[in-house]
Structure 1
Amino acid sequence: MRNVARILITGANGFVGSACVAEARRRGIEVTALYRRAPLAVWANDPGIRPLQADLSDPATSAALCNAMSGAQAVIHAAAHLGGDATSHAQDTLRGTQTLLDAMAGSGSRLVLVSSIAVYNTMQVAPGAALDETAPLENADHARDAYAAAKLRQEQMCRAAGLPLWILRPGAVWGPGRTWNALLGFWASKLHVQINSGGELPLTHVTHTAWALVEAATRAPQGTPVLNVLDDDRPTRARFLRAHKRMTGWPRLTLPVPYSLWIALVRLLKPLSANLPGLFREPIVRARLMPLTWPNTALRSTLGGEDTDTFEGMLTRSLGGNP
């Protein structure tokens, strides 16, 4: 299980990728850190990190990747487009994934795919439900947005490649420099409109996420395990905002709006939804704001582990710039 001397991490200079590099090195695992534009300065002082510049969207990099695979028992694939542009997803997420899969063919290495809970179809889930790995998925051809569609297709591509595969679906990844998220409501000038104070925020701290990804990389998958990656301590929106305001003084003004009232308004405005922002479209509202619970039972029963602190403790550390 644990005979892993080196792993390759794509998107290694990104938020999740760089945390994976740090976690792997903490365990004494050597890393080939694949990046597209700029290496991280901290890598220069660590002989256990081999930086490799490569653009996965360019199939010509396949030969360099094949060489980089030498000696790597596993790959954590964290490189992907994070926005909502379908063209960028086609190039950076999907073409990049295919380039990596081509390079891994015949290598014997296992793949840990960083997917997302965005693949779940919350239009088929009732408010208050517990959403786990058995929940219905979106249809890639009719997904609510380009990001969900790309993540679904990325999972399909990796399954079809026939490699030893883990599919990990992190929730909203947060941590130093990234404590706020789009699951809390929206801003109207200086007023924060908080939609729904019930249900759990599907948060996963970046250090907890990296632990799960590296832990999976050290283990041979049995079949194709699919795991939602979520913190043990998942706050409600109201608890999150109370803690954030207490520690930072922000947001100063908050207007709580019940989810039931907001979704009724969204349905009333449905004829105009094509010209309105995302939070006026029901599939987006349900995916981001519907009150749900997000158990991480499968994650813990498969990989073990636990949070390193409470939500408030992790928030204090993150606001202080500490992992």
Structure 2
Amino acid sequence: MNLLITGSNGFVGQAVSDLATKRGQKVRKVRRVKPNAQRENTNHVQPLTFWIETINGDTDWEGAFEGIDCVVHCAARVHHMHETEADALAAYRSINTEGTRHLAQQAAAAGVKRFVFISSIKVNGEATLPNQPFYANDKPNPQDPYGVSKYEAEQALFEIAQQTGLDVVVIRPPLVYGPGVKANFLTMMKWTKRRIPLPLGAIHNRRSMVYLDNLADLILTCCIHPNAAGHVFLASDNDDVSTTRLLKTVAQAMRRRAYLLPIPAWLLTRIAQLVNKPQLSQRLCGDLQVDIHKTMGQLNWQPRYSVEQGIAKTVSDYLAKKSYLAKKPLSHKKT
């Protein structure tokens, strides 16, 4: 199978590209160049890479789909600081909604058979009640501009599928972790490595995550499985973890003790409210579970790596990079 993968140099896209290549599938990577950059038109000279300036409703995809069987759309606009909600929604829609719609329309017109879209669990919502996980067929409830743009993109894709016969598959992952992870997961590893005491030793919530290689394997399964077309699938490691267990597992992978203070979750939530940080307490103390029985049953798929294995690989990569940077000699400029 020949794949076109957007966001191929990103966290998820790179993993999908590497795994597909390892399995003998031909991959054409979509990469971005700076606007108005001085370069030759290499889109026909180097068929393994397709260059674009940005993804929106006007992107020129001519020549991108030659010989392509399936598009895997990983590229997206993610969170940006210091922007109003109105500005954010317009920006998200330009890339995540209209960019996706335009890409799928062009792919269908070029004869591509399948389109796998990496959406987000934010389409379902921001949190779940205890023991009431999200399901793939739940009524969507996006609550921020990013989630809204992803949901609107899903709707656009299924409309295109009805009009053209394009096989559309939607995958909604929760937090994705793995080698190279950034944001909150990276911060958590830094805290643990520095032995910083944390008031998170008595948190009994349940949160779903998905290890990067598990997600990449699921994405490639959706590229070829006959039962995938026309469906939405949720993704996870099928093992929900509490914040306390997560920190202890990270510490164990680092072969050190986790310094966790047993502060009750209700007290942390109250403190977060007092300092006007309710979202922080939700991420640390709240639940966000997904049910993947449909994913496993309909696709005959199982996560290849456990949470412990995924965290061990993530931590090992983090420590290796820290060790490399510590040993790297400082460069000296001539004066």
Question: Do both proteins adopt the same fold according to a TM-score greater than 0.5, normalized to the shorter chain?
Answer: yes
CA drift at 1:231: 0.7
What RMSD in Å do the two structures reach over aligned CA positions?
3.4
Amino acid at match of 2:239: D
Corresponding residue number in structure 2 for 1:296? 292
The question of whether the paired residues in 2 share the 8 Å contact of 1:196 and 1:291 is answered with no
Indicate how the Cα distance of structure 1 residues 236 and 50 shifts in structure 2: closer, same or farther if over 3 A, else same: same
1:53 is aligned, of 51, 54, 76, to: 51
CA drift at 1:280: 1.6
Secondary structure, aligned partner of 1:71: coil
Corresponding residue number in structure 2 for 1:114? 118
* 1:63-111 deviation per Cα after TM superposition (whole angstroms, max 9, x unaligned): xx24211211111100001215514413332232133123113224211
2:72 is aligned, of 55, 61, 76, to: 76
Runs (5+) with no aligned partner, structure 2: 35-45, 319-335
* 1:47-70 deviation per Cα after TM superposition (whole angstroms, max 9, x unaligned): x980111134355533xx242112
Corresponding residue number in structure 2 for 1:102? 105
Counterpart check, 1:150 vs 2:149: yes
1:307 is aligned, of 299, 303, 318, to: 303
The question of whether the paired residues in 2 share the 8 Å contact of 1:233 and 1:307 is answered with no
Separation of aligned partners in 2, 1:195 and 1:179:
23
The question of whether the paired residues in 2 share the 8 Å contact of 1:133 and 1:228 is answered with yes
Counterpart check, 1:216 vs 2:213: no
CA drift at 1:223: 5.5
* Mapping of residues 37-52 of structure 1, within 5 Å: 37=33, 50-52=48-50
Secondary structure, aligned partner of 1:194: coil
Indicate how the Cα distance of structure 1 residues 6 and 196 shifts in structure 2: closer, same or farther if over 3 A, else same: farther
The question of whether the paired residues in 2 share the 8 Å contact of 1:115 and 1:151 is answered with yes
The question of whether the paired residues in 1 share the 8 Å contact of 2:236 and 2:290 is answered with yes
Count of aligned positions: 291
Counterpart check, 1:239 vs 2:230: no
Corresponding residue number in structure 2 for 1:318? 314
Amino acid at match of 1:154: A
* 1:242-284 deviation per Cα after TM superposition (whole angstroms, max 9, x unaligned): 1212333789644454444445566x65xx9xxx4xx425xx8
Secondary structure, aligned partner of 1:111: strand
Runs (5+) with no aligned partner, structure 1: 39-47
Indicate how the Cα distance of structure 1 residues 161 and 297 shifts in structure 2: closer, same or farther if over 3 A, else same: same
Task: Single out whichever of 154-163 and 247-256 deviates more from structure 2.
Answer: 247-256
Corresponding residue number in structure 1 for 2:40? none
Separation of aligned partners in 1, 2:47 and 2:33:
17
2:3 is aligned, of 2, 7, 24, to: 7
Q: Which has the higher strand share?
A: 1
Separation of aligned partners in 2, 1:8 and 1:217:
11
Amino acid at match of 2:152: R
Separation of aligned partners in 2, 1:220 and 1:37:
35
Indicate how the Cα distance of structure 1 residues 170 and 251 shifts in structure 2: closer, same or farther if over 3 A, else same: farther
Separation of aligned partners in 1, 2:254 and 2:210:
21
Corresponding residue number in structure 2 for 1:172? 175
The question of whether the paired residues in 1 share the 8 Å contact of 2:211 and 2:305 is answered with no
Corresponding residue number in structure 2 for 1:135? 138
Secondary structure, aligned partner of 1:291: coil
The question of whether the paired residues in 2 share the 8 Å contact of 1:74 and 1:109 is answered with yes
Secondary structure, aligned partner of 1:28: coil
Separation of aligned partners in 2, 1:288 and 1:101:
37
CA drift at 1:311: 1.8
Corresponding residue number in structure 1 for 2:160? 161
Corresponding residue number in structure 2 for 1:33? 29
Highest CA radius of gyration, 1 or 2? 2
2:232 is aligned, of 223, 226, 231, to: 226
Indicate how the Cα distance of structure 1 residues 103 and 116 shifts in structure 2: closer, same or farther if over 3 A, else same: same
The question of whether the paired residues in 1 share the 8 Å contact of 2:222 and 2:228 is answered with no
Amino acid at match of 2:225: R
Separation of aligned partners in 1, 2:202 and 2:130:
11
Amino acid at match of 2:184: N
Separation of aligned partners in 1, 2:134 and 2:157:
23
Amino acid at match of 1:212: L
